[in-house]
Amino acid sequence: MAVAMSRTVAEQGGLRRVGMLVDGAWVDASAGGTIAIEAPGTRAAIASVPRGEAEDIDRAVKAAAAAFPAWSKVPPRERGRLLQKIADAVEGRVEELARIIAEETGNAIRTQARPEAKGSADILRYFGGLAGELKGETIPLGEHVLSYTRREPIGVVGAIIPWNAPVLLGCLKIAPALCAGNTLVLKAAEDAPLGVLWVATIANEFLPKGVLNVVTGYGEEAGAALSIHPGVRKLSFTGSTEVGKLIMRAAADHIVPVSLELGGKSPSIVYPDADENWAVDGIIAAMRFTRQSQSCTAGSRLFLHANIFDSFLAKLADKTQKLKIGDPLDETSDIGAIINAKQFNKVCGYVEEGMKQPGARMLFGGLPPKTGPLSQGYYAIPTVFADAANDWRLAREEIFGPVLVAIRWTEEVDAIAMANDSHYGLAAYVWTHDIGRALRAAHAIEAGWVQVNQGLGQSPGHSYGGVKQSGIGREFSLEGMLDSFTHRKNVTVNLGV
């Protein structure tokens, strides 16, 4: 039997032992297991969280099911107001959250962790404000009939999130699911659960017990148990395409709707007129070098027109090599550390493969240093392989690390064909002053999101998601909330009786 303990992230000091949130209480795992959380910047253990398993998931799902009837009947704008209060409370302590994110993810505080913390409050506030938009329609079937639809909550949502932007992605499940009247069991990533638990600590001060449950644990244990639990009525997953397929298979057993936000190998197409500094800055941003490129939307295939291939890459080398790699908590660091040893070794493996690839030219970067300060953590070096081919493993697989391949093109039609020759279809970037070309390319590229002349992250309000094996469904928007977290019920009344 689990022991309820009022331990919250905020109360801890030293090697924190943090509980998970089930039915409004902070608890250990039923079986007593724990997972040590490592700071990627130093490889030091900074906390431990419960190793939740099937029994814990079952308790959380039951708590969420028990909380659902009352929560679903709270007037939507009242639910929205609660989310906005949580947003205010998070924003009031945003610096604390930024430090937790930087420490546990290895993402640099100035460039990533602080913007993520602020962005998370924004997401909570944005969806809180949408509560009044959970509207239905009336269907004109004639004067003798009233036919209308209601947007009803689905029930208990099971959501699973990754570690690369854990708090933002957590809030992206919490805010729309709860606003729409569902209750939630959120499985945090085993590599970065602390920021999510911190937000849950705050949310728990405002929400009725059981409405939000956050379970920590491994994917194969807690995550898999959540995906097959018969009490879960909707699955929402963000992470690798490989696990996304498992979630979709699990959902088939109970015919549960799924939303999947999966991987990408997103193309950036640079036209010859964009051989300019702003485009180089944009490529650096799109590649997410300052998040160690651990982003599903990373523009990791750079298609450069042959006429500007060398001059553009020279500027890219110059600017990228000026970025400072170092301690995620240091305000002067631009780039932090890779999340864990497994991902770090995987990224190094791709770099080694590129170095051995016949015909590949390593423009800059390479393997991380084996000695010195950077060897204390999982620090990878931004690396660019020029003269790459679109069929290399490096150009096909999601590396999730700072390894960029540059590919030459001369005809637009070839650039677009190569861009689309991928099983992914998440994001894309087009760089040119010529609006006609830009929009032709934007329309021809198979992706859920195309940016022209910028390489920014998602904003609240914009429907974000992928095509092909990058996923199903949209997030970040009103339509995303309506489609992913409600179902439409039709009521048809004969007025002639």
Residue 262 touches ligand NAI, criterion: CB under 6 A: yes
Residue 50 binds to ligand NAI (criterion: CB under 6 A): no
Q: Can you tell me which of 181, 195, 239, 377 binds ligand NAI, judged by CB under 6 A?
A: 239
Q: How far is the CB of 224 from ligand NAI (least distance, A)?
A: 4
- The yes-or-no answer on residue 261 being catalytic is yes
Which of 4/285 has CB closer to ligand NAI? 285
Minimum CB distance to ligand NAI smaller for 153 or for 460 = 460
Q: Which stretch binds ligand NAI (CB under 6 A): 69-77, 131-139, 222-230, 429-437?
A: 222-230
If you write DSSP's letter for every residue of 366-410 in order, what string do you get?
-SPPSSSGGGGTT----EEEES--TTSHHHHS---SSEEEEEEES
Q: Is 390 in the site for ligand NAI (CB under 6 A)?
A: no
> Is residue 341 classed as helix, strand or coil in its secondary structure?
helix
3-class secondary-structure state, position 42: coil
Cross-strand partners of 450: 428
Alpha helix stretches (DSSP H) within 287-357: 309-321, 341-356
State which of residues 131, 160, 167, 260 lies at the interface with ligand NAI (CB under 6 A): 160
Q: In whole angstroms, how close is the CB of 74 to ligand NAI at the nearest point?
A: 29
Residue whose entry in the numeric block shows the structure tokens 């689990």: 2
327 binds ligand NAI (CB under 6 A): no
Distance CA 451, CA 457 (A): 10
Q: Does 233 bind ligand NAI (CB under 6 A)?
A: no
Q: Measured from the CB of residue 225, what is the shortest distance to ligand NAI in angstroms?
A: 8
The string of DSSP letters for 413-439 reads: HHHHHHHH-SS--SEEEEE-S-HHHHH
Single out the residue of 227, 357, 477, 486 in contact with ligand NAI (rule: CB under 6 A): 227
User: Is 190 a binder of ligand NAI (CB under 6 A)?
Assistant: yes
In 3-state terms, what secondary structure has residue 380? Answer: coil
Annotated active-site residue in 261, 398, 446, 475? 261
Q: Residue 19 CB, nearest distance to ligand NAI (Å)?
A: 18
CB of 245 to ligand NAI, least distance (A): 10
Residue 156 one-letter amino acid: V
- Asked if 2 contacts 29 with a C-beta cutoff of 8 angstroms, the reply is yes
The H or E element spanning position 258 is strand 258-261
Residue 296 annotated among the catalytic residues of the structure: yes
Dihedral pair phi/psi, residue 395, rounded to 5°: -100, -5
Residue 469 touching ligand NAI (CB under 6 A): no
Give, as ranges, the residues between 296 and 315 that touch ligand NAI (CB under 6 A). 296
**Cα(292)–Cα(37) distance, rounded to whole angstroms?**
19
- Pairwise CA distance, residues 49 & 217, whole Å: 8
184 binds ligand NAI (CB under 6 A): no
Binding residue for ligand NAI, selected from 7, 62, 110, 187, defined by CB under 6 A: 187
- For the chain, percent helix, then strand, then coil, each to nearest 5? 45, 20, 35
Whole-angstrom CA distances from 220 to 18, 127, 205, 228, 229 are 21, 31, 31, 12, 14
Q: Which of 71, 289, 400, 409 binds ligand NAI (CB under 6 A)?
A: 400
Nearest to 123 by CA among 66, 180, 185, 168: 168
Nearer to ligand NAI, 87 or 251 (CB): 251
Query: Tokens 């938009």 appear where?
Result: 133
Query: 106 or 162, CB closer to ligand NAI?
Result: 162
Region of 101-109, 155-163, 174-182, 367-375 interacting with ligand NAI (CB under 6 A)? 155-163
Contact 139, 147 (CB under 8 A): yes
Work out whether 61 is an interface residue with ligand NAI (CB under 6 A).
Answer: no
List, by residue number, the catalytic residues. Answer: 261, 296
Site for ligand NAI, rule CB under 6 A: 160-162, 164, 187, 189-190, 218-220, 223-224, 227, 238-240, 243, 246, 262-263, 296, 343, 398, 400
